[in-house]
Chain A
Amino acid sequence: MSSIIEISDLRKSYPSEQGRLEVLKGVNLSVDRPQSVSIMGRSGGGKSTLVALLSGLDRKDSGVVKVLQKDLSLFSSNQLIEYRAKNIGVIFQQFHLLPHLTALENVEMALAFQGVDGARDLAEKALADVGIDQRANHFPHQLSRGECQRVAIARVLVLSPKVVIADEPTGSLDVQTGERIMELLLNLVQQRDMVLVLVTHDPELAARCDRQFILEGGTLTLSSHEV
């Protein structure tokens, strides 16, 4: 079976005052079917760097990052933007909703950039799927943080990407709300046959994923908890 995500010998370093700081020192990962994958690690351990490379937001030093058999490093900036918009969804810890758009418009915006017909109806349905259709016409500052994250999830899932990368999606939520958001996210991903890459430092959340990895010392290793 062909891989949905294929990362091999991925290396990335950044300049620092003490010379180049090697953050990723040969990361390998292969996901060949829809499933949820968690990546845990300490702060500053390279989780965000891995997310950036996996979502095509940053360029690698060496190695391979393929999503749906496409090597992301071969794309131009514009090609990458197009490919990412269609195939990779990113959910941020800070939600990043556009403050001047309502919840509905935030979701609609994502569809509109793709030129999808009937964007409004689809957006309404997406908000209903995350249980927030009653708040569709509210602006981000009128929503709770949990509601904002639901909108952000709806905005990503409405495009039906094959891969969803969630970077600490519950990091800025209280425990109960985070719990509910994770439940929702895992269910939706499962229902829609997507790959979820969950970056977190919460072992309990990580444990709910099909596979769990730990990013430590610049390399990715399977967690001992993996089933």
Chain B
Amino acid sequence: MNLLLGLAVKDLWRSGREVRAHLVLVAMAGLCLFFSFAFRDSIDTLISHRAREFLSADVALSSMQPIPAADLVVAEELAQAQSVARQTELLAMARTKQASLLVEVKAIDSVFPQVGQIVTEPLRSRQDIDLDLKAGHIYVYDELLPELGVQLGESIQLGRLSLVVKGIVVRDPGISRSNIGIAPRIYMDQELLQQTGLVGPESQVTYRYFYQTQGDLEAITAGLKEQFGQKNYFVISPEESMSGLRRALDSFGKYLSVLMLLASLLGFSLAFYLFQLFVRKRISSMAVMTMFGAGIWDVRKYLLLQSCLLHLVGFVLSWLFGATLLLGINQFVDLSAVPGFVAEISWLSLSVLALLFLAVAVLFNLPFWYEFSSSDVIHLLEEDTSEVPSRGGFGRFLPQGIGFLGFLGLSSWLLGAGTFFLSFAASLIVFGLMAFLLMPLLLSWMSHKMSEFSWRFALRNLGRARLTTSLAFFSVFIIGLLFGVGPTLVQSSLKELETPDQSKLPAYFVINVPEESTNRLVQFSKDSGIALRYLSPLILVRLETINGEEVNQDELRRFPSRVTYRKSLLESERIVEGEPFIGTFDGAGSEVAPVSVEVEYAERRGFKLGDILGFNIQGIPFQARVANFRRIEWNSFHPNFFIQFPDGVLNDVPKTYVGIVYHSGSDEDVRQIKFEMSRRFPELSLIDLGRTLRRLADITRQFRPVILVTAISLVLFTLLFLLLLLSHSVKVRSSEILLMQIFGGSASKVRSLILKEFSVLLGFGLGFGVMVGLVLAGYVLDQIMKFQIYWSLYESFFLFAVSGLLAFVLLFLSLTRRIPSFIKS
């Protein structure tokens, strides 16, 4: 083994540029994986370190109904609480003389927060803040001031109370009902909340109790869940409090992982290609080794050693480079959008990454184990032994395919990228195979159609080096795909959010309408000339059983479902499976009530037609049978519900109402009527849809540079891949190019021939890629997001221009540098 190792190291060390190019590619591919792992680790650390601060305590108990004192005593004991903080939270309308705005009210006591702090401007100590709150002052998020037209020291109306804005909250613990910031936050005193008149039996208020403890947190959380599992209380651990952020970061992480895996796949593929050329050149050397006593297995070990050595060095390089970049990110990049986020990677991930590199070294090089056999030695006796013919046949690619699939499976599993990436990659592989198989036919057909020799020559050359051509085509195809998908998705989403269909867009949602106020509200709408539509009852229920078995989906257990009942479907709804409701349900014959479920929600939860769902409606158990599935047009902005009953089932249950208001007047009219409505009906809340859409558009816009940067990075990586691939194939053909020189081909003619090959590849690859990308984007927009496809010429042209120019410059430089050197040699 020492002998083989020594020979392998010497071979690699003295092989020069070929090995260096391989190492660079492996290191770059590894860097992509490194970043995917680092991002995942950074999220984990953020969650584990920041979770307590995010929750503001060690554990919390939450309920949509007031929690009886007896239960609070039990909870305090179970939590072994050293201190208890209380918070009540609700959405309400804040008003000034000129304007009204939906706000998130947090009524707190002096103990809140037990972990973390509320930082204000002007800076005040917690004791001072408490004194201010008790004196009827409030602290608010800064965006509230311009929207309501108030300044510090002025007062705003919240329900029946007028409260003075004392300061701005700069930083605070983060738990909320996650409304993507559509409602700015207000801190007020716990005791004053009742006086606002906003808290009633049907109000959607969340009551929270926070506990600080020194006990075993896991055991305490489990104990509290066991104790209160059957009641409408939710026990929230620090990790669970960050589940929303975690989901968002995980989704982003998956997006990054998909791109990074794609890039690393390209990098490893080209490294594999270079290694294949490297091995081919050495088959005669290996045959010589067998002449002097090396067995077939020695040769295989030799190859494996070389592959492993290359990948290990590549791993170390990517580690060093990656670690330096992580330091740079922490030092120079503004990460304030996600407070507490530190870019890092764990030793465990590094070890896994090292193993992954070794796995790649083995998996990607399996084909070479079969490439060499003892009979190859005979080729040493032939006069021209510069390249031993490789074994043909499709079977040769089988281990290669296994290698690719193994890598994809392993890495996407490790990164948790899930089935999405695998199915995406599988489709790409299928497409690649199709291209590989169909390309010779297509090129041959085209070359027959071409009358000009230079084009025929270019096409024949492409058809000859099938593997190289397929890889190059594939990489250009991916560039095209990215052009097609990324900018189109972002641009179409922005277009939809920034300029929604005004005929469909309501002015605002009305929520929290008490049952007794509905008639007055309808009358007010008529009097004001606005259209209040689809006023729908909203009832909070908990789904407890499915076909008699207890629900084990955490989200369903922790959060109540909002349901409604209706006499008929809205225009935005249609039944896709099952029977529609007929008439009013009267419960005759003790029949189980039917229920309609939104089809995608049902798919996520695994509901089937005929399933019996067991609900708890304000303490009363209630059963319903899944009678049909509905599809909803969500961009209709109607008050749609996942779960919907027929009229007559829940009519007697306490409820609030939601509806939408259409208004065709000017912005000022809308503002005036909204203001008047919130003044007359202080208990209801109005969600400004325009503001929400603008907020969503802002968030989407913030993602746009990230998407563009990652897309451009991947494009550059792909171009590098393409450049190396093509320049290598040109190098391999150096003797042919010399031959062309002998037969009178000038450098410019040779260059023109090669550029024709590239242009065919670029044209086909980009064309196909953009086409498939557009179809994919169209599918996602139409079927999943329900948006109109919008082709942004500006962004696409920009990307085309930048990368096209880069491609051309790089290729041109490469060719002009290489071809003369061949001629000279």
Contacts and interface: CB of A to CB of B under 8 A. Distances in A.
Contact of A93 (B7, B290, B383): B383
Contacts of A109: 3, 7, 289, 292
A80 B377 CA distance: 12
Contact of B293 (A81, A98, A99): A81
A96 interface: yes
Contacts of B294: 81, 113
A51 B49 CA distance: 74
Given A100-B15, A101-B10, A81 B295 contact: yes
Interface residues of B, number: 28
Contacts of A48: 381-382
A41 to B, nearest CB: 14
Contacts of A92: 380-381
Given A92-B381, A113-B294, A77 B374 contact: yes
A121 interface: no
Contacts of B430: none
Interface string A76-96: 011011101110001011101
A110 interface: yes
Contacts of A57: 377-378, 380-381
Interface string B287-316: 111111111100000000000000000000
Contact of B378 (A58, A96, A114, A159): A58
Contact of A167 (B7, B11, B284, B381): B381
Interface string B368-394: 000000110110111101000000000
A105 interface: yes
Given A48-B381, A57-B381, A99-B285, A113 B11 contact: no
Contacts of B3: 109, 112-113
A101 B284 CA distance: 14
A52 interface: yes
B604 interface: no
B292 A110 contact: yes
B288 A85 contact: no
Interface in B265-293: 284-285, 287-293
A125 B799 CA distance: 65
Nearest to B285: A98
Contacts of B289: 98, 109, 113
Nearest to A107: B292
> Which among B289, B291, B375, B382 has the greatest number of chain A C-beta atoms within 10 A?
B291
B817 interface: no
Nearest to A49: B381
B14 interface: yes
Given A96-B284, A96-B380, A96-B385, A85 B293 contact: yes
B384 to A, nearest CB: 8
A78 B10 contact: no
A77 B10 contact: no
A149 to B, nearest CB: 14
A84 B288 CA distance: 12
Contacts of A51: 381
A56 to B, nearest CB: 9
B296 A90 contact: no
Interface in B1-56: 3, 7, 10-11, 13-15
Interface in A13-60: 48, 51-52, 57-58
Contacts of A94: 380, 383, 385
A169 B471 CA distance: 42
A97 B288 CA distance: 8
Contact of A82 (B7, B288, B293, B375): B293
Nearest to B291: A90
A100 B375 CA distance: 23
A98 B12 CA distance: 13
Contacts of B7: 98, 101, 109
A215 B296 CA distance: 32
Contacts of A112: 3
A112 B293 CA distance: 9
A1 B3 CA distance: 40
A85 B378 contact: no
B393 to A, nearest CB: 17
B292 A114 contact: yes
B350 to A, nearest CB: 32
Interface string B726-769: 00000000000000000000000000000000000000000000
Contacts of A84: 291
Contacts of B381: 48, 51-52, 57, 92, 167
Contacts of A82: 293, 295
B201 to A, nearest CB: 85
Contacts of B14: 100, 139
Interface in B226-285: 284-285
Given A96-B284, A100-B10, A100-B11, A159 B292 contact: yes
A52 B380 CA distance: 10
B292 A113 contact: yes
B378 A113 contact: no
B295 to A, nearest CB: 5
A139 B294 CA distance: 22
Nearest to A89: B291
B399 to A, nearest CB: 21
A97 B282 CA distance: 11
A112 B292 CA distance: 9
> Which among A51, A80, A85, A105 has the greatest number of chain B C-beta atoms within 10 A?
A85
Contacts of B285: 96, 98-100
Contacts of A97: 288
A114 B288 contact: no
Contact of A105 (B10, B377, B382, B385): B10
A52 B375 CA distance: 10
A93 B385 CA distance: 11
> Which among A57, A93, A110, A159 has the greatest number of chain B C-beta atoms within 10 A?
A57
A113 B294 CA distance: 6
A80 B7 CA distance: 23
B301 to A, nearest CB: 13
Contacts of B13: 100
A155 B14 CA distance: 21
Contact of A98 (B288, B295, B383, B385): B288
Nearest to B296: A77
A114 B383 contact: no
Contacts of A110: 292-293
A52 B295 contact: no
> Which among A51, A77, A109 has the greatest number of chain B C-beta atoms within 10 A?
A109
Interface in A133-158: 139, 155
A93 B382 CA distance: 9
B291 A78 contact: no
A71 to B, nearest CB: 18
Contacts of A77: 295-296, 374
A92 B384 CA distance: 12
B378 A52 contact: yes
Contacts of A81: 290, 293-296, 374
B292 A85 contact: yes
A175 to B, nearest CB: 19
A18 to B, nearest CB: 21
> Which among A77, A105, A113, A159 has the greatest number of chain B C-beta atoms within 10 A?
A113
Contacts of A105: 10
B588 to A, nearest CB: 86
24 contacts: A48-B381, A57-B377, A57-B378, A57-B381, A77-B295, A78-B295, A78-B296, A81-B293, A81-B374, A92-B381, A93-B383, A96-B287, A96-B380, A98-B11, A98-B288, A99-B285, A100-B11, A100-B13, A100-B14, A101-B7, A101-B10, A114-B292, A155-B292, A167-B381
Given A77-B296, A113-B293, A155-B292, 14 more contacts: A48-B381, A51-B381, A57-B377, A77-B295, A77-B374, A80-B374, A85-B293, A94-B385, A96-B285, A96-B385, A98-B289, A100-B14, A109-B3, A114-B292
The 6 A-B pairs at the shortest CB distance, nearest first, are namely A85-B293, A113-B293, A110-B292, A100-B14, A100-B11, A48-B381
